[in-house]
Structure formats: C-alpha cells, structure tokens
Amino acid sequence: MERLERGATSTPIISHVYQMSKKINNFFRAVYPYVFAVFVVLHGMKNGFNTLGIAVLAMTALLLISDIVTLFRRREK
C-alpha cells in the first residue's frame, strides 16, 4: 500500500490511473462547495432565504475569498 501512495507501482498504467484519480478527487473537493452554494441560492430564490441559507452563502463567500488569496500567494512564489 505504501508503494501505491508514492505512485511507484509495478506497472505505469496503474500508476497513471492512481495519479488521475487523485487529480479528479482534488478537483471535486475544490468544486463541490460552490456547486452546493449554487443549489442553496436556487432553492432560496424559489422558497425564500432562511437563516441556514444565508449562513451557507456566507461560509461559501469566505471559502471563495480564501481560495483566491491562496491562488495569489502561489503566483507570487
């Protein structure tokens, strides 16, 4: 299992599939909160915003700001 973690597997195909699955997993981890926020906004537009909806939007805004700050910090290096 440790060899799989490092990506040093016996066949390059398995290693490639493992690396691609890590990239896809990271992509969904990064995109999921925003998809959830869009769902909350659409639900709120239809049924009226409640306290939970506003709290989710505030948390998503903070997450978006932190992502943007992280991107700019990576570019500066």
Query: For position 3, what pLDDT does the model report?
Result: 53
Query: For position 55, what pLDDT does the model report?
Result: 83
Query: For position 4, what pLDDT does the model report?
Result: 54
- Cα 9 from Cα 60, distance rounded (Å): 38
Q: In this predicted model, what pLDDT tens digit does every residue of 61-74 receive, in sequence order?
A: 888 888 888 888 88
- Look up the pTM and report it: 0.47
Q: In this predicted model, what pLDDT tens digit does every residue of 28-67 receive, in sequence order?
A: 877 887 888 788 778 877 887 778 778 878 888 888 888 8
Q: What share of residues in the chain are helix, strand, coil (percent, to 5)? A: 85, 0, 15
Torsion of CA 42, 45, 51, 55, to 10 degrees: 40
Query: For position 61, what pLDDT does the model report?
Result: 84
